[in-house]
Amino acid sequence: MEQNVFYIKTFGCQMNERDSEIMAQTLSSHGYHESMNYQEADLVILNTCSIRAKAEQKVLSLLGYLRKAKENKPSMKICVAGCVAQQEGARLIERMPHVDLVIGTQQIYHLENHLQRVDLEGSLVITGLLDNYEIPQFLPEISQLGRVSETLSSSPAPRPCSRFVTIMQGCNNYCTYCVVPYTRGREISRKVNEIIEEVKALAEEGVKEITLLGQNVNSYGKTNTVKETGTKYTFTDLLKEVSQVEGVVRLRFTTSNPKDLTDDLMRSFRDVENLCPQFHLPVQAGSDRILKKMNRKYTVSEYLEKVDKLHEYCPEIALTTDVIVGFPGEEDEDFEATMTLLEKVRFHGSFSFKYSDRSGTRASAFVDKVDEGVKAARLYRFQNRQDEISLERNREYLGKIKEVMIEEWGRDGLRGRTDTNHIVHLNNCTADYFPGDIVAVKILHAGQHSLQGEIEKID
């Protein structure tokens, strides 16, 4: 095989991170080698995200840039995978004829076959979504950790002691602003035994922290696990089973639609010992009128009731959220309701964005769009207040001793993470610590986005 060096650039969420690992692993098993420099690559893959207009624009401008790289090296193959590929399909090659392969979100497992077809037939587009799709079992390799990424989402990129495990794909919820049901297809849950097998394999390799991944993990099992297990099997059941795998020290999950958050699952924060006291619960808006237009299927008071229960079951839980400002029809009073919600919950952090039209979604056809300047002003106000609250929240840890899992050496020394998912920079670090070690740390300084502390001396 002539072409044997590949480069992957990942945009978007943790699902894409994991998909890039799978593609890298597939290519490596067929004799390819990975490079971190696209200029020396024979195959460049952009694993794309279309959740926001900005992410999609970045992909298109990078593709424009790659046109020049391909002019200098005509043998270079360019592949677009992920959500932009799924949505744009053949249109992408019409606009960007230097692209060789466009593969949809369910096609990554067959990447090598598709590349062979490109060699024989020329440029190719494969983006069909299957009705009876089953997620293939694909055990990860530790060597595929820490990929190049541009994460827009709520959790950190994979760390050597910490791994994401996909438990489901797709979504049936059809929130009016969201492309996921169109780009990832209908919701499908992976088989329980395959998930457990993957977690065990990771734990045996020394991975200590597992994050279960899906677009809406709370509805895990609704699609196919009854068939598999012969009984109703919920996400809470899965969480408990994974928590018992030997070697799993910390367990997290993301993402959750509040409408599917059951009391059972909330109780897990009290009952499952290694489930971290940290929860990302996207609210999106603080106005019932806007939530209805978004098709979120919960009200603000229902959301707040769940927040209260979470605090009751786990008083130290750190909550984060997603917010969209300037959704079509959002009036000043709707936005003020979002600010009121922020004051009530006092999230530890949030990911907030200006609404942008996504092609094919219902909201893109709504006529009552909000002026760009108004959206920008609202976003600025929301983010400023969130930053203040995050700082106040982080100051609550000052002087406390927290258990920190060491992750890596950064530019400023050793870095770790609390069970509440706060990054901690360690002052008095030595070379004796390794990723995955858990140390007791006294928190001495709190910033908006991280904490700083000293490892407690153990006599």
Q: Where are the beta strands (DSSP E) in 13-121?
A: 33-34, 43-48, 77-81, 101-103
What residues does 166 pair with on adjacent strands?
Answer: 213
DSSP letter, residue 258: G
249 binding ligand SF4? (CB under 6 A): no
> DSSP letters along 389-415, please?
HHHHHHHTTTT-EEEEEEEEEETTEEE
SS3 state at 380 = helix
CA torsion, ordered 292, 294, 299, 304, to nearest 10 deg: -160
Looking at the Cβ atoms of 173 and 450, the one nearer to ligand SF4 is 173
174 binding ligand SF4? (CB under 6 A): yes
Site string for ligand SF4, 257-296 (x = CB under 6 A): x---------------------------------------
Signed CA dihedral, 38, 50, 327, 186: sign only: negative
Looking at the Cβ atoms of 168 and 245, the one nearer to ligand SF4 is 168
* Smallest separation (angstroms) from ligand SF4 to the CB of 219: 9
Backbone angles phi, psi at 420, to 5 degrees: -80, 5
180 binding ligand SF4? (CB under 6 A): yes
Among 115, 175, 249, 251, binds ligand SF4 (CB under 6 A): 175
| Stretch 393-432 residues interacting with ligand SF4 (CB under 6 A) | none
Looking at the Cβ atoms of 178 and 325, the one nearer to ligand SF4 is 178
Give the angle subtended at the CA of 353 by the CAs of 211 and 305, to the nearest 5°: 65
178 binding ligand SF4? (CB under 6 A): yes
What is the number of residues in the chain? 459
356 binding ligand SF4? (CB under 6 A): no
173 binding ligand SF4? (CB under 6 A): yes
Looking at the Cβ atoms of 174 and 380, the one nearer to ligand SF4 is 174
216 binding ligand SF4? (CB under 6 A): yes
Q: How far apart are CA 239 and CA 382, in angstroms?
A: 33
> From residue 2, how far is each of 18, 79, 81, 280, 416 by CA, in Å?
27, 17, 22, 45, 42
Mark the segment that binds ligand SF4 (CB under 6 A) among 122-130, 177-185, 243-251, 393-401: 177-185
* Smallest separation (angstroms) from ligand SF4 to the CB of 294: 8
Q: How far apart are CA 160 and CA 408, in angstroms?
A: 8
Among 171, 266, 318, 345, binds ligand SF4 (CB under 6 A): 171
CB count in 10 Å sphere of residue 106: 22
Site string for ligand SF4, 29-68 (x = CB under 6 A): ----------------------------------------
Under a CB-based contact definition with an 8 Å cutoff, are residues 149 and 211 in contact?
Answer: no
218's CB contacts (< 8 A; 6+ apart) are 235, 256, 257, 260, 261, 262, 265
Among 82, 158, 181, 286, binds ligand SF4 (CB under 6 A): 181
Mark the segment that binds ligand SF4 (CB under 6 A) among 22-30, 178-186, 242-250, 362-370: 178-186
Mark the segment that binds ligand SF4 (CB under 6 A) among 87-95, 147-155, 173-181, 347-355: 173-181
Mark the segment that binds ligand SF4 (CB under 6 A) among 31-39, 135-143, 159-167, 174-182: 174-182
Mark the segment that binds ligand SF4 (CB under 6 A) among 68-76, 103-111, 171-179, 371-379: 171-179
Number of chain positions touching ligand SF4 (CB under 6 A): 10
Q: How far apart are CA 429 and CA 450, in angstroms?
A: 17
DSSP letter, residue 305: H
Site residues (vs ligand SF4, CB under 6 A): 171, 173-175, 178, 180-181, 215-216, 257
